[in-house]
Amino acid sequence: MIDIHCHICFPDAYKDVDWVVKKAREEGMAGIIVSSARYDEGIRVLELAVKEKDFIFSTLGYHPTEGTDHEGVLKLIKENKDRIVGVGECGLDYHWQKDPGKRGDQKKIFQKFIDLAKETKLPLVIHSWDAEQDCFDMVKDSGARCVFHCYSGSKELAQQILDNGFWISMSTHILFSKNHRKIMKVIPLERILLETDAPWLSPNKPEPNYPWNIKLSAKKIADIKNTTTEEILERAKKNAIDFFSLNI
């Protein structure tokens, strides 16, 4: 069981991160990919990945509306390219940004991360809230290896993303959204990736989300795909290891 995207190092997300890691091991997880959205979170993720080697894997990024110091993050990626498993999250967010000029600025910064993913040959973890089409247009011919994290666009675009050789990661949204159940129908078993985006998207509010809640998503997906929860978790784990070249 591998959660390919969560933020357990986001400042103040959890009272006790060590407990989250310990509990994740007890729940039978094989690994967790911890993502970062801003510079200070990136530093914490790197530290945790050193401490919990072969269990915690890191990606360094800059969220289009929550990020800080994108130049610093780009530098951090270059300095740690052999230690991390991906570039991101990064991308475009038109949900929180309506101003066309500022959307243009988001694109300029996103392009720098796309170029760096290509240069370092690391997978690119894309944030694309209400901006899925523009994100896809920017990466389509980039040559970068892409995953659309927390994808919430149309199922038609999901199909195009998959046909282009990219990946879509299914979040715990699937537990409470009809659209995500529709999207799931176009994702074949050999391309399933699971994530929680924890502490967000909790299925058990007011509790935060936890990486092992991908079990709940897997159960829901098993119903849609007419198979077992175990098979979904096993496939998603294998896909995560292959896509991110994890050393597990």
Could you give the string, one character per residue 7-46, with x where binding to Zn ion holds by CB under 5 A and - elsewhere?
----------------------------------------
Kindly tell me which of 109 and 225 has the beta carbon lying closer to Zn ion.
109
Could you give the string, one character per residue 170-199, with x where binding to Zn ion holds by CB under 5 A and - elsewhere?
---------------------------x--
Q: Could you tell me the end-to-end alpha-carbon distance of the chain, in angstroms, rounded to an integer? A: 12
Which has the closest alpha carbon to 117: 79, 91, 158, 88?
Answer: 88
Contacting range for Zn ion; rule: CB under 5 A; set: 84-92, 106-114, 165-173, 226-234: 84-92
Kindly tell me which of 169 and 239 has the beta carbon lying closer to Zn ion.
169
Residue 76 CB, shortest distance to Zn ion, in Å, is 17
Number of residues that bind Zn ion (CB under 5 A): 2
Kindly tell me which of 89 and 132 has the beta carbon lying closer to Zn ion.
89
Contacting range for Zn ion; rule: CB under 5 A; set: 42-50, 86-94, 179-187, 226-234: 86-94
* Exposure b/e, 197-229, CB count within 10 A at least 16 = b: bbbebbbeeeebbbbbbbbbbbebbbeebeeeb
Kindly tell me which of 34 and 232 has the beta carbon lying closer to Zn ion.
34
Helix (H) or strand (E) holding 2: strand 2-6
Separation between Cα atoms, residue 49 and residue 31, nearest integer Å? 11
What tokens appear for 35 in the block?
A: 């993502």
Kindly tell me which of 13 and 222 has the beta carbon lying closer to Zn ion.
13
Kindly tell me which of 36 and 120 has the beta carbon lying closer to Zn ion.
36
- Phi and psi of 40, rounded to 5°? -65, -35
Separation between Cα atoms, residue 211 and residue 13, nearest integer Å? 13
Contacting range for Zn ion; rule: CB under 5 A; set: 88-96, 163-171, 210-218, 228-236: 88-96
Work out the number of other CB atoms within 10 angstroms of the CB of residue 243.
Answer: 20
* Residues engaged in binding Zn ion (CB under 5 A): 89, 197
